[in-house]
Amino acid sequence: MSSSIIPKSQILSLYKGLLKGGKQFSDYNFREYTLRCTREDFKKNKTITDKEKIKQLYEKGIKNLGIVQRQSLINQMYSKQISIMDSRAKAFRENPDLFTAQYSNMDTSVEQEED
Protein backbone atom coordinates (compact mmCIF):
# COMPACT_ATOMS: atom_id res chain seq x y z
CA MET A 1 0.00 0.00 0.00
CA SER A 2 1.11 3.54 -0.55
CA SER A 3 1.52 6.01 2.29
CA SER A 4 -1.68 7.83 1.32
CA ILE A 5 -4.80 7.44 3.39
CA ILE A 6 -7.08 4.49 2.63
CA PRO A 7 -10.32 5.65 0.93
CA LYS A 8 -13.45 5.31 3.05
CA SER A 9 -15.02 3.21 0.33
CA GLN A 10 -12.31 0.55 0.76
CA ILE A 11 -12.71 0.58 4.55
CA LEU A 12 -16.49 0.24 4.19
CA SER A 13 -15.99 -2.60 1.72
CA LEU A 14 -13.71 -4.35 4.24
CA TYR A 15 -16.32 -3.89 6.97
CA LYS A 16 -19.09 -5.33 4.79
CA GLY A 17 -16.84 -8.22 3.77
CA LEU A 18 -16.09 -9.10 7.39
CA LEU A 19 -19.79 -8.98 8.29
CA LYS A 20 -20.69 -11.12 5.28
CA GLY A 21 -17.96 -13.61 6.12
CA GLY A 22 -19.07 -13.72 9.75
CA LYS A 23 -22.66 -14.44 8.75
CA GLN A 24 -21.51 -17.50 6.80
CA PHE A 25 -20.49 -19.43 9.93
CA SER A 26 -22.93 -22.25 10.53
CA ASP A 27 -22.09 -22.32 14.25
CA TYR A 28 -23.99 -19.73 16.29
CA ASN A 29 -21.12 -18.96 18.69
CA PHE A 30 -18.51 -18.41 15.96
CA ARG A 31 -20.95 -16.32 13.94
CA GLU A 32 -21.98 -14.04 16.80
CA TYR A 33 -18.39 -13.68 18.06
CA THR A 34 -17.14 -12.65 14.62
CA LEU A 35 -19.95 -10.17 14.07
CA ARG A 36 -19.62 -8.68 17.56
CA CYS A 37 -15.82 -8.27 17.29
CA THR A 38 -16.07 -6.72 13.83
CA ARG A 39 -18.65 -4.16 14.94
CA GLU A 40 -16.79 -3.33 18.16
CA ASP A 41 -13.40 -2.94 16.44
CA PHE A 42 -14.71 -0.69 13.70
CA LYS A 43 -16.68 1.40 16.19
CA LYS A 44 -13.66 1.72 18.48
CA ASN A 45 -11.32 2.78 15.64
CA LYS A 46 -13.63 5.08 13.65
CA THR A 47 -12.12 8.29 15.09
CA ILE A 48 -8.49 7.47 14.23
CA THR A 49 -6.93 10.04 11.91
CA ASP A 50 -3.27 8.95 11.85
CA LYS A 51 -2.54 7.69 8.31
CA GLU A 52 -0.02 5.05 9.42
CA LYS A 53 -2.36 3.68 12.10
CA ILE A 54 -5.22 3.52 9.58
CA LYS A 55 -2.94 1.69 7.14
CA GLN A 56 -1.91 -0.83 9.84
CA LEU A 57 -5.50 -1.45 10.89
CA TYR A 58 -6.62 -1.83 7.28
CA GLU A 59 -3.88 -4.41 6.57
CA LYS A 60 -4.82 -6.27 9.76
CA GLY A 61 -8.47 -6.20 8.62
CA ILE A 62 -7.55 -7.65 5.22
CA LYS A 63 -5.69 -10.51 6.94
CA ASN A 64 -8.64 -11.09 9.25
CA LEU A 65 -11.02 -11.13 6.28
CA GLY A 66 -9.02 -13.98 4.75
CA ILE A 67 -9.07 -15.85 8.05
CA VAL A 68 -12.83 -15.36 8.47
CA GLN A 69 -13.53 -16.54 4.93
CA ARG A 70 -11.38 -19.67 5.30
CA GLN A 71 -12.69 -20.53 8.75
CA SER A 72 -16.33 -20.06 7.80
CA LEU A 73 -15.83 -22.39 4.83
CA ILE A 74 -14.24 -25.02 7.07
CA ASN A 75 -17.01 -24.51 9.63
CA GLN A 76 -19.63 -25.13 6.95
CA MET A 77 -17.86 -28.30 5.79
CA TYR A 78 -17.82 -29.78 9.28
CA SER A 79 -20.98 -28.30 10.69
CA LYS A 80 -22.96 -30.19 13.26
CA GLN A 81 -26.61 -30.06 14.16
CA ILE A 82 -28.39 -26.74 14.39
CA SER A 83 -27.96 -25.26 17.85
CA ILE A 84 -30.92 -24.42 20.02
CA MET A 85 -30.06 -20.73 19.64
CA ASP A 86 -30.34 -20.94 15.86
CA SER A 87 -33.63 -22.83 15.98
CA ARG A 88 -35.14 -20.35 18.46
CA ALA A 89 -33.91 -17.37 16.41
CA LYS A 90 -35.45 -18.85 13.27
CA ALA A 91 -38.75 -19.49 15.06
CA PHE A 92 -38.74 -15.94 16.42
CA ARG A 93 -38.09 -14.43 12.97
CA GLU A 94 -40.97 -16.46 11.55
CA ASN A 95 -43.44 -15.67 14.34
CA PRO A 96 -42.37 -13.05 16.93
CA ASP A 97 -45.87 -13.00 18.45
CA LEU A 98 -45.44 -16.61 19.58
CA PHE A 99 -42.67 -15.61 21.98
CA THR A 100 -44.46 -12.50 23.19
CA ALA A 101 -47.52 -14.57 24.04
CA GLN A 102 -45.42 -17.29 25.63
CA TYR A 103 -43.67 -14.94 28.04
CA SER A 104 -46.62 -12.65 28.75
CA ASN A 105 -48.60 -15.61 30.14
CA MET A 106 -45.90 -16.53 32.64
CA ASP A 107 -46.70 -15.92 36.29
CA THR A 108 -43.90 -13.70 37.58
CA SER A 109 -45.17 -13.43 41.12
CA VAL A 110 -43.29 -15.34 43.78
CA GLU A 111 -45.32 -17.05 46.42
CA GLN A 112 -43.72 -17.30 49.82
CA GLU A 113 -44.21 -20.40 51.90
CA GLU A 114 -45.39 -20.05 55.46
CA ASP A 115 -43.79 -22.24 58.10
Task: Look at residue 13 and tell me whether its pLDDT is greater than 50.
Answer: yes
Identity of the amino acid at 106: M
In angstroms, the Cα distances linking 1 to 6, 19, 47, 53, 115 are 9, 23, 21, 13, 76
* pLDDT (0 to 100) of residue 27: 85
Highest mean pLDDT among 46-50, 61-65, 79-83: 61-65
The rounded distance, in Å, linking the Cα atoms of 2 and 4 is 5
Mean pLDDT, residues 17-33 taken together: 92
Task: Look at residue 113 and tell me whether its pLDDT is greater than 60.
Answer: no
pLDDT grade for 115, boundaries at 50, 70 and 90: very low
Select the more confidently predicted residue: 76 or 70.
70
